[in-house]
Amino acid sequence: MDYSTDIRWRFGQIVTTVREYVEEQMQLGFLELEENENQLRERTSSYADLDLTGLRELAVACEKCELSKTRTYVVFGAGNEQADLMFVGEAPGADEDQQGQPFVGRAGQLLTKIIEAAGLTRDQVYIANVLKCRPPGNRNPKSSEIESCEPYLIRQVMLIQPKVICALGTFAAQMLLRTDAKISNLRGHFHSYHGIKVMPTYHPAYLLRNPGGKRQVWEDIQKVVAELDLSTPRPDDS
């Protein structure tokens, strides 16, 4: 092997090693590929002049994906439009689809308890989902549906400008952080979304099936409380 061939081989090995390291770190949740501001503006350029009222009206009339044919109501979001804390979930369920409001079913009742345990009320936070329409049978969102609906959420975040986003569950965390990492690897520490701190944690629906996860969620919420400098909350074990 001559010198130039050896250099090319060594460079190729370095590139392969770096690529494998980056992929491993992303899987573990220690590295996210954050969009730059130009990319963000490009993906939301159609909504740049809209306030929340205009954005809601556009979402209500949306027919970008197949979910528009099966929904009862568009579930845009609700709460304080100047909130310091924003909760982002996955998608509306059956109760939300019938009422047009986010987190009003059993998972929503548990989320209310979590919010109150943090020393807040639902009127003091903002709650939204990645998808604005319910997937039939509460199936997982398709990538095409997330791609169609994502700009609405991005614009919501840009308008509300919360200090902290609490990403509820895998899909919300992965969308915001541009990662494929598992929620179990992402939760427990803050990440960044264009300068906004993001705390991923388990979705309340997961806690209904796995009550043992409540302790971990409480740990995550305590970190959010400390970051927002709220009064010391009390956990609710119910």
Whether 131 contacts 168, CB under 8 Å:
no
Q: What is the mean pLDDT of the chain?
A: 86
Task: Give the per-residue pLDDT at 164.
Answer: 98
Residue 61 has pLDDT above 70, yes or no: yes
Q: How is residue 209 written in tokens? A: 């099936």
DSSP label at residue 45: G
**Alpha helix (H) residue ranges in 73-161:** 94-99, 106-117, 143-160
Give residue-wise pLDDT tens across range 130-156.
999 999 999 999 999 999 999 999 999
Task: Give the per-residue pLDDT at 33.
Answer: 46
Residue 46 has pLDDT above 90, yes or no: no
Taken in order of first residue, the domains within the chain and their CATH numbers are 34-228 (3.40.470.10)
Q: What is the CA angle 212-121-88, rounded to 5?
A: 60
Mapped onto helix, strand or coil, the DSSP state of residue 61 is coil
Give residue-wise pLDDT tens across range 181-223.
999 999 999 999 989 999 999 999 999 999 999 999 999 999 9
Q: How is residue 155 written in tokens? A: 């614009």
Residue 30 has pLDDT above 80, yes or no: no
Q: How is residue 206 written in tokens? A: 């997961």
